[in-house]
């Protein structure tokens, strides 16, 4: 495993994050096997949200971490708040009470990172600032960030929030690339030129804010895994060919492709299969050339101007 700072924190976080969204579907014994495999491969950073499994993912994680013998001070725990049934809520009261629930479920006294899960258009940034200050001063959260936010939404928050927002979760993977497509097609009429995110990729690099790509194997929230999708057969074949050449799995090549981008992203993998996780981590050692990176990009049906 390789390690990196998240944003400007200087911490030594693993390049890959294990996402625990699907952990609620596992027994504690199964989850302990997943955590043992992740830990053995060097993963020390775990992503949660208060809504995953209605809170059950965090409860199962806490029990599984104990069963797997993981020590709290060797782990970075991150969770997200702000999504409620039918609305988003960035009020101080909701942020603070959600964190208290998370700490209870994770059986810990602090989170390493707290992210705001999805933008709330009714956000009052002074409220977010008050919530974050309270959480930092009480020792309940060390670092803060956002998720699915564009540069202007982040700028608005940063006008009031005194602590630097260190991370932003955004979907990114070989079958989901709007972040880079727009950059290739500046000022063009074609669909790929649509700037859907306010140039978040370049903004993040300028601000030293870590992008944590979520669902790297999915096309989007509704179309599922790209490897099973008829529109991505060429991409899947291309990745498999590179995997065979390097003696690793297709999933490892997907990780290598994301890590090859100099933005120093920290992908979140959601597999709950211990063997798949172990093999995926081998992607850390695979170096793709510039030409190979573009070859994979083009095989997903993209074109360059
Ligand atoms: N901020 C946000 O809005 C947001 C949104 C979504 C997710 N997330 C975070 O991102 C994490 C990852 O999301 P994700 O789980 O959607 O990511 P993912 O890693 O793209 O997908 C994981 C799923 O794909 C399956 N899979 C992977 N390779 C496979 C293969 N070769 N054959 C069959 N199935 C395969 C896994 O099954 P197995 O378990 O069998 O391997 C698992 O069900 C989440 O846990 C969460 O922490 C954040």
Of ligand 1's listed atoms, the one at least distance from the Cα of 22 is 45
pLDDT of 47 higher than 90: yes
Range 2-15 average pLDDT: 98
What span, in angstroms and rounded, lies between the C-alpha atoms of 114 and 110? Answer: 10
Q: How far is the CA of 136 from the centre of ligand 1 (A)?
A: 30
Using the predicted structure, report yes or no on whether residue 259 has a pLDDT greater than 90: yes
Tell me: pLDDT of 221 over 90.
Answer: no
Write the CATH number for 208.
3.20.20.100
Retrieve residue 272's tokens: 């709950």
CB-ligand 1 contact for 270 (6 Å cutoff): yes
Q: What is the number of structural domains in the chain?
A: 1
Residue 44 pLDDT > 90, yes or no? yes
| Tokens 């097609």 belong to residue | 185
277 pocket-lining for ligand 1 (C-beta < 6 Å): no
Percent of the chain's residues with pLDDT above 70:
100
Ligand 1 center to 170 CA (angstroms): 13
Residue 135 has pLDDT above 90, yes or no: yes
The closest-lying atom of ligand 1 relative to the alpha carbon of residue 169 is 1
Q: Is 213 in the pocket of ligand 1 (CB under 6 A)?
A: no
Walk across the sheet containing 17-19 and list its strands.
210-214, 165-171, 141-147, 111-116, 76-81, 45-47, 17-19, 268-269
For residue 79, the tally of other CB atoms under 10 A from its CB is 28
Question: From CA 213, how far away is CA 276, in angstroms rounded?
Answer: 18
> How does DSSP classify residue 198?
S
- The gap from C-alpha 129 to its chain's centroid, in whole angstroms, comes to 23
Q: Report if residue 287 sits inside a domain.
A: yes
The sign of the CA dihedral 90, 92, 95, 97 is: negative
Question: Best mutation site among 19, 148, 232, 239 for ligand 1, i.e. most ligand atoms within 8 A of its Cβ?
Answer: 19
| Ligand 1 binding pocket includes 22 (Cβ within 6 Å) | yes
Contact between 207 and 3 (Cβ < 8 Å): no
Give how far the C-alpha of residue 179 lies from the chain's centroid of Cα atoms, to the nearest Å.
15
Q: What is the mean pLDDT of residues 203-216?
A: 98
Q: 86 in helix, strand or coil?
A: coil
Q: Is position 305 within any domain?
A: no
Query: Does 110 map to a domain?
Result: yes
> Rounded to an integer, what distance in angstroms lies between the CA atom of residue 158 and that of residue 254?
33
User: pTM of this prediction?
Assistant: 0.97
Quote the CA–CA distance of 194 and 11 in Å, as a whole number. Answer: 35
**pLDDT for the residue numbered 281:** 96
pLDDT in tens, 55-104: 999 999 999 999 999 999 999 999 999 999 999 999 999 999 999 999 99
Between helix 250-260 and helix 290-299 the angle, nearest 10°, is: 120
Q: Is the CB of 254 under 6 A from ligand 1?
A: no
Segments forming the whole domain that contains residue 133: 3-299
In-domain check, residue 304: no
Please check whether residue 232 lies inside any domain of the structure. Answer: yes
């Amino acid at each position: 495993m390789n390690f990196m700072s998240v944003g400007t924190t200087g911490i030594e976080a693993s390049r890959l994050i294990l996402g625990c969204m699907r952990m609620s579907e596992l027994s504690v014994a199964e989850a302990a096997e997943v955590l043992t495999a992740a830990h053995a491969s060097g993963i020390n950073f775990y992503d949660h949200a208060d809504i995953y499994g209605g809170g059950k993912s965090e409860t199962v994680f806490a029990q599984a971490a104990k069963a797997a013998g993981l020590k709290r001070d060797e782990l970075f725990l991150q969770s997200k708040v702000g999504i409620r049934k039918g609305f988003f809520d960035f009020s101080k009261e909701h942020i603070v009470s959600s964190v208290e629930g998370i700490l209870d479920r994770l059986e810990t006294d602090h989170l390493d990172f707290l992210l705001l899960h999805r933008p709330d258009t009714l956000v009052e940034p002074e409220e977010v600032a008050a919530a974050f200050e309270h959480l930092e001063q009480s020792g309940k959260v060390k670092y803060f960030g956002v998720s699915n936010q564009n540069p202007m939404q982040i700028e608005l928050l940063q006008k009031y929030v005194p602590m630097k927002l260190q991370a932003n979760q955004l979907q990114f993977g070989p079958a989901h690339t709007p972040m880079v497509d727009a950059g290739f097609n500046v000022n063009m009429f074609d669909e790929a030129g649509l700037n859907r995110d306010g140039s978040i990729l370049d903004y993040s690099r300028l601000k030293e804010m870590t992008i944590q790509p979520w669902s790297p194997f999915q096309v989007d929230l509704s179309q599922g895994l790209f490897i099973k999708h008829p529109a991505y057969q060429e991409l899947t074949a291309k990745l498999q060919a590179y995997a065979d050449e390097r003696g690793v799995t297709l999933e490892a090549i997907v990780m290598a492709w994301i890590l090859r981008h100099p933005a120093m992203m920290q992908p979140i993998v959601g597999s709950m299969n211990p063997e798949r996780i172990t093999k995926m981590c081998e992607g850390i050692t695979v170096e793709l050339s510039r030409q190979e990176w573009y070859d994979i990009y083009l095989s997903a049906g993209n074109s360059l101007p």
